[in-house]
Amino acid sequence: MKNLVITIGREFGSGGHEVGKRLAKKLGISLYDEKLIELAAEKTGFNKEYVKENDEKTPKFSAIGLRTAFAPEFYQLTNLDNIQIEQYNIVKEIAQKESCIIVGRGSDYALRDIGSINIFLHAPLTDRVNRKLALEKGDETLSYGDMENKVQQVDKQHRKYYEYYSDKKWGNSQSYDFCINTSALGIDGTVDLIASFVKDYGKTSIMPD
């Protein structure tokens, strides 16, 4: 039986990790998010903190992506490229081994030849800023403006990373099976909706209707 593999792309602050964690518990399968940093550090030999610092980032000086990077006669691989190559390999190994949920890291693209259910989570900017401020409530130095800048910067980083290492558009509905506004349903409502979607996914095509 084919493993159930769900990938979650997300705007920063939309609840990607929390949705993934609760969904994994509901479905009784593994979650891979921060764990991918540890596995990539083991594979590459780089320090874990270095991998974490450069997680979902792209080389600053190059305008070409990983698809070209596999042609070494035209491109010298950077440390970030090597990290991403290993993460792609890790994601594929995990998907072939077990049912799981994988957050970010271009995992939907990595699994394009294996198959996965690909979800994208988004929410209005104001809601995402307020959510991150609530989660950081112990830090009195953070203003709304500071957090808004951070949210927008991380979104920009995620978009650049995804589009650099794939041939798809980050956040575009055509890149995913299901896009969900988490503000409309909340975290638990989003988890329930995805679980229902996964249950019926691929059962019957309604397109002929």
Within a domain: 134:
yes
Within a domain: 205:
no
Within a domain: 199:
no
Residue 185: the pLDDT is 96
Within a domain: 201:
no
Query: Poorest-confidence range of 44-53, 180-189, 195-204?
Result: 195-204
Residue 58: the pLDDT is 87
Cα gap 176→166, rounded to integer Å: 13
Within a domain: 19:
yes
Within a domain: 198:
no
Cα gap 149→156, rounded to integer Å: 11
Residue 202: the pLDDT is 77
Cα gap 163→100, rounded to integer Å: 24
Tell whether the model's pLDDT for residue 168 goes beyond 70: yes
CATH number at 20 reads 3.40.50.300
| 162-166 long-range contacts, CB within 8 A, separation 24+ | 162/9, 162/106, 162/109, 163/65, 164/58, 164/65, 164/66, 165/58, 165/65, 165/66, 165/84, 165/106, 165/109, 166/65, 166/106, 166/109
Higher-pLDDT residue of 23, 205 = 23
Residue 141: the pLDDT is 78
Residue type, 184: A
Each residue's pLDDT tens digit, 8-20: 999 999 999 999 9
pTM over 0.85: yes
Each residue's pLDDT tens digit, 92-114: 999 999 999 999 999 999 999 99
Q: Dihedrals φ, ψ of 134, to 5°? A: -65, -40
11 close to 128: Cβ distance less than 8 angstroms = yes
* Band of pLDDT at residue 27, cut at 50, 70 and 90: very high
Closest CA to 3 of 90, 92, 121: 92
Strand pairing category for 5-10 and 30-32 = unpaired
Residue 155: the pLDDT is 97
- Domain of 73 in residue numbering reads as 5-185
Interior angle at CA 106, CA 161 and CA 132, nearest 5: 70
Tell whether the model's pLDDT for residue 6 goes beyond 70: yes
Percentage of the chain lying above the pLDDT 90 cut: 74
Residue 62: the pLDDT is 52
Within a domain: 91:
yes
117 close to 175: Cβ distance less than 8 angstroms = no
Tell whether the model's pLDDT for residue 36 goes beyond 90: yes
Looking at the structure of the chain, the number of domains it has is 1
Within a domain: 30:
yes
